[in-house]
Amino acid sequence: MTRPVWVLNGPNLGRLGSREPDVYGSTSYAALTERCRALGAELDFAVEVRETNDEGELVRWLHAAADGSIPVVLNPGAFTHYSYALRDAAAQRTAPLIEVHISNPYAREEFRHTSVIAAVASGTIAGFGIGSYLLALRSLAAEQG
């Protein structure tokens, strides 16, 4: 039976491929979506990938995931560092939630060194480019057996 997994992306991630390729790589958002879905299919997941620049929408998606006990791979983007609303929504999780980042926040500007999400996530994977998402999906598969 295929299990649902949501890959949720915060602000500016829809611009992958054109946004600061020296930091975020040249993989487009469409290619990220395809790679997540393809790996998900191999892992028996029905992966749904979403992106929004709207904090409230991301909070609503996390509420829906909690209500449905749906595992989440979350790249909060800039919300990572200051959105207590997102942190509180993530804390309501009823299934694993893995925070991901394409770049390594600790190798960047100091304000990026703090994640308000990390303390309520199952774990964090960062610095492996698009591979961070794939590692998170593999981690969910291993955890859920």
Q: Is 69 marked as a binding-site residue?
A: no
> 103 with 40: CB under 8 angstroms?
no
Q: Indicate which residue of 24, 29, 113, 133 is catalytic.
A: 24
Q: Is 67 marked as a binding-site residue?
A: no
60-63 contacts, C-beta under 8 A, 24 or more apart: 61/6, 61/8, 62/8, 62/86, 62/89, 62/90, 62/92, 62/93, 63/89, 63/92
Q: Indicate which residue of 29, 82, 101, 133 is catalytic.
A: 101
Q: Is 75 marked as a binding-site residue?
A: yes
Q: Is 37 marked as a binding-site residue?
A: no
Tokens coding 131:
């591979």
Is 24 tagged catalytic? yes
Q: Is 70 marked as a binding-site residue?
A: no
Q: Is 112 marked as a binding-site residue?
A: yes
Strand partners, 125: 100
Q: Which residues are annotated as a binding site?
A: 75, 81, 88, 102-103, 112
Q: Which residues are annotated as a binding site for substrate?
A: 75, 81, 88, 102-103, 112
Q: Which residues are catalytic, by number? A: 24, 101
